[in-house]
Chain A
């Protein structure tokens, strides 16, 4: 038996928005520790890792580890039937082939439930080992989303150069070049500050279309953390959190583009 009750059902909606562009279907791995999802996107260029801790749920019960394959398009349809402040309960029997979503309105006078057929997804579980990164950039997530969106108009790839002074995003294409520099402003304690934790300067280039997909997660959290080291994948991490609750995180891994290679 698996049952998880989420006080703010809207969280799952946002999570879904953050991954549906990269994945068509995904296995949610349930364990005592919580709900996890790890999958490569269709083209095997980026990897999504979602972790929703058991503690974040109002109520969490998982008798046995299980893997639930879901078609994300179908899941989106179901989530559309809920309001953002509905309380969501996810239920599944052991060895079941359906998962049930129950939505209760805040005042409890409206309850709707939806069964969704599960899929049997046979895929390898892949993870990227945790490492220390040469530089870690913390910045406002909507700033990140805007930068990525703006620069993707120029070219297919965006270079991220991180140095002591700050971070520079740049892109070159047919119409010209765009550069956006963010200085490190440790002075203010405000929300929109950029913090760089630097061991050594790093410059890496990434495909803009994937960065754009990652930016869809900006709604989940105020802050985004970019971690980079030479020749290893970039990590873009968003906390899944509200003001009063920390649910977990969503991480995206993206391999840097290597010069003279066109894909």
Chain B
């Protein structure tokens, strides 16, 4: 019953099939595994006389169960032509479409995941829109509830934009304008491949309002210009703006364009209320289904119907106004069981060179496919070049020829038909590499990975510049109908980490280390035997599995999907586009309801700055009393709502003169907005909707029991919160789509005023005169929160006062601005602006956590040592209330640092290589090091965008710091001395004195940094210094370090009487090192999942790796030392 028994005899002559298929292994769970399985199994037992099952394999073996369940899936459907030659596994197929499916009687509902469009040469009869070709057709891809893939062609929607028209423009001008515009556009076109005869389909007058600025209540006429194709918008807009269109009676006047910079898909989605990842319903009888059996145009004519374009199971055609788009609420907030493919490739590179697709072969491709909502992949397959021993629970398919391997993988992707493709760095490496490699090998069929039959996937370079991310060079790869959801890109966007390698990420989020096989070893493993290749395959499979586990753990897919639903943009925009498109999409949707239209803003960079948020000067110190924190909830959104700040309510100062002063407000930054009573702005409406929706999602979350639905709801409330907060940012983005500094500066000015006012109110009310026990003091405040010392002795008292004060101050502000009591810090260490730490209480009994802001514990530009020491010290100070213990601890760490006892991984600093050397103005350590490493080994050297790990090494006096950076592994291998003084003075000293000063006072620094504990140092001798090969070590006494005359003895005469004592001491050091080494080694063996193979891992992110390396060196030294007693 196991999977391989059902495999079709795929190799049907022609030699195109795989060279060896019998590599599947049933493992221990299935007894009737068939010949193949038995053979493979015995194979396994022969090579490793050990019945122990590797942990990795155990993991894989769990799969058996789920696979067996899959067996009752219906058989496969319509096999495609290009796969005829190759292997097919039914298990890979999607469930077949039921026989009772008919467009006449079945409503076709599916969750759409991607939308694109194409130009069809002629319109399909019976559809709305242009009657002569070419016409744009939208294509939606999705999955039904039953897991069927759907491609839906939406016909009849035409692109358009608006222009403002002169006052004397009337309906009679539309015709001439259209004719004239047609003419100039045709003349403007350099080529006309699609043979457009009539670029402008229609011009009509519509009554709309400009969104920007309050202009009274009446709507004004605009011309809506409908065009034949999306790409005609740009020339039409340009020609109209430049006044190159002549209209009799009006002459050549310029027309300002509105909503012309919106892409076609977004235009469609906004107009038809389609949001990203929502459910689309095609009502029975309103759509037609294409016939998958028709293969050519001639078939279409002889047999009737339309041939399919895609590889989807169901391909339908519908008019744009017939389809139903369901808002993602209630029943329609469900998620379809779409398929996620995660894969990883290995290439056999050459020594010292990063793999290049035109030289180095792809040797393995591991794949994991999971259905959304399930936790275990139902397909685990690895394609290998040359034989590979079986791996329990995974399906090994081997090829002798790389081209075949690539072709087979292409077939696999088409067969599995994933909706999302994920992996780690697949966008910039794996996919790019495969595509280029396939081109190089002329594996022509390979490139058709998408759902549209005749569009090959290609990789292009794009540079993304965004304020949030900085500049990044990315590849852009098109795979029609499938979303490339590269986990690395998600993580880089959403999380700030020290390192983004898969190892460190999986450690960070999953709490487990992953072995890292250096690419120079990969080639050796590949050239070994089937066991070494199996070793590599296990590693490769793990790399494919981890992204899935991370996606699951971080709920990326659900969160992104909810973000797409909330903001209305397609899923892939979230990964490939900036922040603004999300707000634009929401703004347009809301604007449409009220007949507003958005001007096309010409981005200009201005240096105009406005004042940011306010910070109340902190009263620094260590507070051993409860400090209550009052926060404004959703400060900026609520200001915008409370004061009706919006594009639509903005008044020019000149407008205010003639207006009733009751009708508008003046903001603290001297801008004017009409009141909501006159006209309610749409930004406040959007925000109200978002916050109401969030409230609802949170309530639903409370009531929901189903864990999966809870995830969805939690993802939604998060997306709603982020969206609400990004509205403010959008109005302030100066190179944005529609910046409005009047709004953003008003928002911050209100914020500043409110913080000040809160301070005054609290300090005025809570005083002894009013019957309170103490005078309250606001000790610090920042952006949306104030910290108050009420003088209460207990947390409970402070909480009561905090709640009361929050309610009291809230009444002073316009609704919905609300001050809330959130937490109490006790004790509280206020170091400086945006730098503080404290124990965080939300209930009086016990603290929730230790909260640190702006301290080195969270910053990335320090070595982990700083964060760790600081954390432990703060814990000792705040939680244990033991400042002396904290000092003692800090001293012990400093002493360890000077004695070279610290693990080097603690000292690694990482910095991102964001620019090339030339672009950096000043020399920087990590840049210099990257160059140095490039000279040593160009293959492993860090590249642009990588985070470079380095340690600071000792150097001659006055050597600039940038020359002292060195690769940690190189340091470890060559025993290069670390610059302990640098770490002490430049890394530890400031953060430590900062936290200890408020408690210990002035003498902290001298005690900490120059105390007795700093008087023992260990200086190591480098193996690579220029003198290293000339020097000779002199024997010194093990007991007292004095130079010995007799080279052979271990001790000087003076220490001789204590020989046994000293010997025992050294011996115990040796044995403790041995124990340490054994434990580390076992740890690594466990991590790599095999106890009887050498450890290959060289993971730069794993502290164990550094410890293991270091302990090996220490052990050798200690061993030599102990041997000196042997004479």
Contact = CB atoms under 8 A, between A and B. Distances in A.
A77 interface: no
A128 B1021 contact: no
B1018 A122 contact: yes
A118 interface: yes
B956 A43 contact: yes
B193 interface: no
A118 B1016 CA distance: 9
A42 B955 contact: yes
Given A44-B1021, A45-B1027, A233-B1027, A125 B977 contact: no
B1021 A119 contact: no
A253 B1031 CA distance: 10
Given A41-B956, A43-B956, A253 B1021 contact: no
Interface residues of B, number: 39
Interface in A42-67: 42-47, 64-67
Interface string B966-989: 000000000011010100000000
A127 B1034 contact: yes
Interface string A226-243: 000000110000000000
A121 interface: yes
Contacts of A253: 1027, 1030
Contacts of B1031: 40, 47, 126-128
A42 B1017 CA distance: 13
Contacts of B1043: 29, 31, 36, 65, 67, 125
B899 A65 contact: no
A124 interface: yes
B185 to A, nearest CB: 61
B1019 A118 contact: no
Interface in A25-39: 25, 27, 29-31, 36, 38
Interface string B1020-1064: 111001111011111111001111100000001110000000000
Given A119-B1017, A125-B1036, A125-B1043, A43 B1027 contact: no
Interface residues of A, number: 47
In this complex, the member of A25, A29, A44 whose beta carbon has the largest number of chain B beta carbons within 10 angstroms is A44
In this complex, the member of B899, B1015, B1020, B1054 whose beta carbon has the largest number of chain A beta carbons within 10 angstroms is B1015
B1017 A25 contact: yes
Nearest to A71: B1015
B957 interface: yes
B167 interface: no
A40 B1032 contact: no
Given A65-B1054, A122-B899, A123-B1018, A42 B1042 contact: no
Contacts of B956: 22, 41-43, 45, 209-210
Task: Label chain B's interface by main secondary structure.
Answer: loop
A132 B448 CA distance: 74
A108 interface: no
Contacts, number: 125
A209 B959 CA distance: 11
A40 B1021 contact: yes
B930 to A, nearest CB: 15
A123 B1027 contact: no
A190 B459 CA distance: 80
A33 to B, nearest CB: 10
A65 B1035 CA distance: 13
A129 B1027 CA distance: 12
Contacts of A42: 954-957, 977, 979
A208 to B, nearest CB: 12
Contacts of A119: 1015-1017
B51 interface: no
A21 interface: yes
Interface of B: 899, 954-957, 959, 976-977, 979, 981, 1012, 1015-1022, 1025-1028, 1030-1037, 1040-1044, 1052-1054
Given A65-B1037, A126-B1021, A127-B1031, 5 more contacts: A21-B957, A22-B957, A40-B1025, A65-B1052, A233-B1027
24 contacts: A22-B956, A24-B981, A25-B1017, A38-B1034, A42-B977, A43-B959, A44-B976, A44-B1026, A45-B1025, A45-B1027, A47-B1027, A47-B1031, A64-B1054, A65-B1040, A67-B1041, A69-B1017, A117-B1012, A120-B1017, A124-B1021, A124-B1033, A128-B1030, A209-B956, A232-B1030, A263-B1026
Closest CB pairs A-B (n = 3): A44-B1025, A255-B1026, A65-B1042
